Chain A
Amino acid sequence: MIEHAITPNLVFDVAHLFAGALVLISFLMLYQDRLYALLNVFALQAVALALAVAWQAYAQDAPHLYLTAFIALVFKALVIPVALHRMVARLGIHREVETVVATGPTMLAGIALVALSMVVMLKATPAADALAREDLAFALSVVLLGLLMMVTRRNAVSQVVGFMSLENGLILAATGARGMPLVVEISVAFSVLIAFIVIGIFLFRIRERFDTVDVDALDRFRGGRA
């Protein structure tokens, strides 16, 4: 561990705090039933991610991670939520989050997923240092919760948010692992941006065609069983 002004214990605790905050905010997102509130919580998660990454930059003495934190802050906490806000307003989307599974069981499933990722990660990485282990375990929880959100929501916007939150988990894992080159992070960030643009365009197209962004409508038009 690199020498710092503050003790290694504190370094670990703060990193733990931020990563834990990401997981907690994931649960908050699962709980939201309004689209605007969901977008706000998503922006909050991006802020937490930026803080976590910045702390990792400090802890690992890796200045390029500050850049990653900055990108996360600008794009995920500001640009994307604002754009999604405007999209929801312009499309006149129904403001409620329509769920497939009720919130209660979803939360229970989320808790089980977090437990699962803890067990898997702590078992799989006995050789890594404690900081990386905790980070990886939390990151996997965030990824799984993001996926859970994508699976249990009907509305395309909330699926986009689930996808972005999943990606937050990936960034957390990438920064937690030491020596991840900047190129990888930047390319991940850009791919997310491009995915966002593509999905945004799709939202407009879906809306134009079917007057709704409920993804099940797509299946009804395709002839599938909704």
Chain B
Amino acid sequence: MSEAAFATRLLLNGQLLVALVAVVALLALGLLGVAMASRPAGRSLIYGGALAVTLVAGLSALTAIAAPPAGIVLPLGIPWIGAHLRLDALSAFFLAVVNLGGAAASLYGLGYGRHDHAPARVLPFFPAFLAGMNMVLLADDAYTFLLSWEFMSLASWALVVAHDKEAGNVRAGLVYILMASFGTLALMLAFGLLAAGSGGGYAFDAMREAPPVGIAAALVLALAMLGAGSKAGLVPLHVWLPLAHPAAPSHVSALMSGVMTKVAVYGFIRIVLDLSGPPDWWWGIPVLAAGGVAAVIGVLQALLQNDIKRVLAYSTIENIGLVFVGLGLALAFSANGFPAAAALALTAALFHVLNHAAMKSLLFFGAGAVLTATGTRQMEDLGGLIHRMPVTSAVMLIGCAAISALPPLNGFASEWLVFQAVLLSPDLPAWGLRLMVPAVGALMALAAALAAACFVRLYGIAFLGRARSPNAAEAHEVDAFSRAAMIALAAVCVGAGLLPGLFIDALQPAVAGLIGETMPSQRSVAWLSIIPVAESRSSYNALLVFGFSAVSALIAAVVIHRFASRAVRRAPPWDCGFPNASPLAQYSAASFAQPIRRVFARGLFAARETVEMPPPGALTPARISTSARDPAWAFLFLPLTAAVGAVAERANKLQYLTIRQYLGLVFSALVLLLLVLALWT
């Protein structure tokens, strides 16, 4: 969408200056991290510095959302082209998400980093990773964008393989770097197509002036989905994500899952909604399909995992799916002449971006706290942590409720908005879309229900019940910095849940820049309700829900404590006929997932259960083992790697030719090219 502002030369403003200084400061902190990593003061210095820088940059970016766009061309990078930087409402919003997420991770790192046995492998790359994400959001030409994107990937890769001694981490790093390179390649091709339309100009301004048409535009959409989707974790390009995100230290996992996937979403929005010109009517279809599939597959896989951080990583895939459903709806509505509905869908997607960044960072911090306290991420070894870690348990409860989309928390607010957009689909003229959008809505509803089951399982197994291992029984609450970071994010979750209207209004400049239309202002609505379309259609008041649940909980508590009998009688509970029940006899994570595994995962993931019964009289215990596979691995990546291996094996023969055969190859290549030249008219 071309704004009048592009005609005039963009000027440097205060917020852009702050963002630039922040990037430089983060890079400097990265260098400092190399020097200071071995000293004890290094940790506080790096994380403290990153906290200060990202906090200032995040708050400054918040004020930039409503400011007019600013730009500057720095004499860096390719000569005569330079590095174009720009700060508009969209990049300001994502900058705020990245930097506030980064500030929380830095605060958490101040405490969590103490347990890191190899700080030299984390400290230099943590600020560099933050700087890379900031640079991607500021870039205004293809070269700067790709360079920053690659820098971000490399810095995060270094963090993924920071703990290279742990099993699987090096493999996770390999899969990650391969997928990241593939994604960058796809983006490079997309930018190539965009630049070709504008006569080879690499600046985004030139691309906006001459958007691609026809096949080129369709290819740009496909390449953007591959490139940005592989970084965000769209199915089937998600396979690196559940390996790489858990492998990194927990505050970095939070950054990768909560924040870096959002940078990928930004890349997709920038390319498809901003640079590719007005969308065709069908552009929403592939995006909607990818989003719906990612939502269901992600959450189903999350339900099958026993490792807390893997559960969270798969849940990220689900939430990215929801964001892409919002973006697909925005594309569909905007292409078919419903800008108001498109504005609603895009607002919902952006709001969910913010919400997911907050709650997923919170949950990863909680997982890190559990890991610190117990030394394990396996749910089957946890239990009863609510007694040992009250603060962590409380904030994790908020995080789990938020990500399960329970009102009055923030997850509900944004998912509700997406559903409101889905409900507008009967207005669409194209039958394909009219049939597809409700189907995707059904997928989303399924995903939301499964997500609730998934997080009930996570919270119930890890925090409730009795400890399943001595480590869990002796867990201690984590340090004050970690608690502060988690409490801050929990406050964001509650705040965005209770006052969604405030956030929706704040997002409108970014939406207006892309769609050319805004949602109705929520400021004037009475009692802090939100009304996305019209009062006659739907409205939602989080305060009301909150008040109702708070009052009913209070009444229940009062009734129980005031009117129940105070007489205490201690007696052994009924033990179902098992004397001395061990904690291992509790409901386990695997048993909780069993019904869903049997119903959903048997076909899709080829989930199998095998029971090994010892012969009568043997003293060995009976065992049940479960297995599931990811269809993306089985049907896409394993055949692909096998094919690459086979081709490489064939090509290996080229290493053992005679000199004459090599000459012959050169000669026949030359003759072939000449023939092509001769026959080409």
Contact = CB atoms under 8 A, between A and B. Distances in A.
Interface string B649-678: 000000011111001101100110011011
A120 B679 CA distance: 9
A209 interface: no
Contacts of B678: 116, 119-120, 123
Contacts of A120: 674, 677-678
Interface in A94-136: 100, 113, 116-117, 119-120, 123-124
Contacts of B677: 120, 123-124
A219 interface: yes
A147 B667 contact: yes
Given A113-B671, A123-B678, A215 B656 contact: no
Nearest to A115: B678
Given A123-B678, A124-B677, A151-B664, A116 B657 contact: no
Nearest to A123: B678
A215 B658 CA distance: 8
A180 B659 CA distance: 33
Interface in A143-182: 144, 147-148, 150-151, 154
Interface string B625-656: 00000000000000000000000000000001
A224 B657 contact: yes
A154 B656 CA distance: 17
Contacts of A219: 658-659
A216 B658 contact: yes
A215 B660 contact: yes
A222 B677 CA distance: 37
Interface SS of chain A: helix
Contacts of A123: 677-678
Given A116-B678, A124-B677, A151-B663, A144 B658 contact: no
B136 to A, nearest CB: 45
A222 B656 CA distance: 9
Contact of B671 (A116, A119, A150, A215): A116
Interface residues of A, number: 23
B670 A154 contact: no
Nearest to B674: A120
Given A219-B658, A224-B657, A225-B656, A151 B675 contact: no
A139 to B, nearest CB: 13
A200 B87 CA distance: 65
B667 A226 contact: no
A224 B667 contact: no
A225 B670 CA distance: 24
Contacts of A154: 660
A147 B663 contact: yes
A20 to B, nearest CB: 20
B664 A223 contact: no
A150 B658 contact: no
A100 B660 contact: yes
Among B656, B664, B674, the one with the most A-chain Cβ atoms within 10 Å of its Cβ is: B674
Contacts of B663: 147, 150-151
A218 interface: yes
Given A117-B674, A120-B674, A224 B664 contact: no
A224 B653 CA distance: 10
A90 B677 CA distance: 46
Contact of A224 (B658, B666, B670): B658
A147 B660 contact: no
B667 A215 contact: no
A136 to B, nearest CB: 13
Contacts of B664: 151
A225 B658 CA distance: 7
A148 B675 CA distance: 16
Interface string A35-46: 000000000000
A123 B677 CA distance: 9
Interface string B282-320: 000000000000000000000000000000000000000
A144 B671 contact: yes
B656 A151 contact: no
Contacts of A148: 667
A151 B670 CA distance: 13
B383 to A, nearest CB: 62
A27 B343 CA distance: 76
A29 to B, nearest CB: 16
B659 A116 contact: no
Select the residue from B666, B675, B678 with max chain A CB neighbours within 10 A: B678
A74 to B, nearest CB: 29
B671 A226 contact: no
Contacts of B657: 224
Nearest to A119: B678
A113 B667 CA distance: 11
Interface string A205-224: 00000000001101100111
Most chain B CB within a 10 A radius of its CB, from A117, A120, A124, A223: A120
Contacts of B659: 215, 218-219
Contacts of A144: 670-671
A223 B667 contact: no
Contact of A116 (B658, B666, B675): B675
A222 B666 CA distance: 21
B660 A216 contact: yes
Given A120-B678, A147-B663, A150-B663, A226 B658 contact: yes
Nearest to A100: B660
Given A116-B674, A123-B678, A223 B656 contact: yes
A216 B674 CA distance: 29
Contacts of A223: 656
Nearest to A219: B658
A2 to B, nearest CB: 32
A169 to B, nearest CB: 13
B660 A151 contact: yes
Contacts of B666: 147
A160 to B, nearest CB: 12
A223 B657 CA distance: 10
A155 B667 CA distance: 18
A101 to B, nearest CB: 10
Contacts of A222: 656
Contacts of A119: 678
Given A147-B667, A151-B667, 17 more contacts: A100-B660, A113-B671, A116-B671, A116-B675, A120-B678, A147-B663, A148-B667, A150-B660, A150-B663, A150-B667, A151-B660, A151-B664, A154-B660, A216-B660, A219-B658, A224-B656, A224-B657
30 contacts: A100-B660, A116-B671, A116-B674, A116-B675, A117-B674, A119-B678, A120-B674, A120-B677, A120-B678, A123-B677, A123-B678, A124-B677, A144-B671, A147-B663, A147-B666, A147-B670, A150-B660, A150-B663, A150-B667, A151-B664, A151-B667, A154-B660, A215-B659, A216-B658, A216-B660, A218-B659, A222-B656, A223-B656, A224-B657, A226-B658
* Smallest CB-CB A-B distances: 4 pairs: A219-B658, A119-B678, A151-B664, A224-B656
Interface of A: 100, 113, 116-117, 119-120, 123-124, 144, 147-148, 150-151, 154, 215-216, 218-219, 222-226
